[in-house]
Amino acid sequence: MFDFQKLDVYQKAKTFCKEITEVLKDKDFDRVTNDQLRRASFSIMLNIAEGSSRFSNRDRKNFLVIARGSAFECVAILEYLFEMKDLNQESLNQYVGDLEEISRMLFGLIRKLEKEN
């Protein structure tokens, strides 16, 4: 097992990515929105994984910052979909809540890496 697979934040990011993939299968969003949301949700998970392979805390931190940025990007897309009436309030709240938790966890890891420098 790789170290990143043991991280709760990675597991939560993977679960979120799978949920978004299911939403995209069921909904008929435009191609650009589909692509952007799919990429952003994958980016959270993949940057956590890739960052764990880096040797320096500075490099690891950079990937976690990118993952956190992708979480924010997902929130913006989901909010847009809600305002366009393509996503209901309950789904928006669930996904944004998941992303808030992921963001907090990433922030904690980023802070920890900063203190270790």
CATH of the domain at 50: 1.20.1440.60
CB 8, CB 105: distance < 8 Å: yes
Q: Flag whether pLDDT at 117 surpasses 80.
A: no
Q: Is 117 among the domain residues?
A: no
Give the amino acid at 98. Answer: D
Range of the domain at 21: 3-112
Q: How many domains does the chain have?
A: 1
Predicted TM-score (pTM) of the model is 0.95
Q: Flag whether pLDDT at 4 surpasses 80.
A: yes
Nearest residue to 48 via CA among 17, 76, 23 = 17
- pLDDT tens across 36-64, in order? 999 999 999 999 999 999 999 999 999 99
Q: What is the mean pLDDT of residues 74-88?
A: 97
Q: How many CB atoms within 10 Å of residue 48?
A: 28
Give residue 116's pLDDT band: very low, low, confident or very high (50, 70, 90): confident
Q: Flag whether pLDDT at 24 surpasses 80.
A: yes
CB 77, CB 40: distance < 8 Å: yes
